[in-house]
Structure 1
Amino acid sequence: MVFKTTGTIVAGAVGAVVVAPVALGAAGFTSAGIAAGSIAAKMMSVAAVANGGGVAAGGAVALLQSAGAAGLSAATTAAVAGAGGAMGWVASLIRWRS
């Protein structure tokens, strides 16, 4: 059981790190900027309206665009891996309880 749980946690962590850049690109956060008509463009519009016409530096849209353009930093990669590992652990726990 321990090996299955460990494997599921590792798979969740690695999978999250691999999928994160793909998901950012699919949402419209690209290296060339925010893609027109995408989810990212809609998020940017909502953020701009909420902030009186501008997108706040350090906000969610700005951080996601930065990651989409430059890739994930070491700290972000660690956070994504941690979240993926936690989801793997939960999946393992659910499977074990079933």
Structure 2
Amino acid sequence: MGLLTAGLAVAAGATGGILLAPIALGAIGFGTIGVAAGSYAASMMSAAAIANGGAVAAGSTVAVLTSTGMAGMGAAGTAAAAGAGGTLAGLIAAAAAVVI
């Protein structure tokens, strides 16, 4: 695999990460109006609340995902999604090059 191919794979993965992150959050229950009842997100919130004596701690994973689902990703979330998507695509491209 050439350097250009690897770069294109990483760029495509980064773009995909940015585009798919809001869809993935919505699919597990972190929506624009809050956590959907009966969803995976609701079970995460319940577990976090039980672990913290009835409240979800500010800055916890559940709190951040709830905020992101309601308000959007912002600059930091967009950068994290791009980084994760690019890294995953790069690893897949490298693994494919080894197999071929």
Tell me if both proteins adopt one fold, taking TM over 0.5 as the criterion.
Answer: yes
Report the CA distance between 1:77 and its aligned residue: 0.5
Please, what is the CA RMSD of the aligned residues? 0.7
Unaligned runs of 5+ residues in structure 1 are none
Partner of 2:67: 66
Partner of 2:92: 91
Q: Give the Cα separation in 1 of the matches to 2:31 and 2:77.
A: 17
Partner of 1:26: 27
Is 1:14 aligned to residue 49 of structure 2?
A: no
Report the CA distance between 1:31 and its aligned residue: 1.1
Q: Give the Cα separation in 2 of the matches to 1:12 and 1:48.
A: 34
Runs of 4+ aligned residues of structure 1 deviating over 3 Å after TM superposition are: none
Give the 3-state SS of the residue equivalent to 1:26 in structure 2: helix
Is 1:49 aligned to residue 50 of structure 2?
A: yes
> Which amino acid counterpart does residue 33 of structure 1 have in structure 2?
G
> Which amino acid counterpart does residue 56 of structure 1 have in structure 2?
A
Q: Give the Cα separation in 2 of the matches to 1:35 and 1:18.
A: 21
> Which amino acid counterpart does residue 26 of structure 1 have in structure 2?
A
TM-score by length of 2: 0.95
Unaligned runs of 5+ residues in structure 2 are none
Q: Give the Cα separation in 2 of the matches to 1:11 and 1:23.
A: 17
Identity of aligned residues (%): 50
Q: Give the Cα separation in 1 of the matches to 2:16 and 2:32.
A: 22
TM-score by length of 1: 0.96
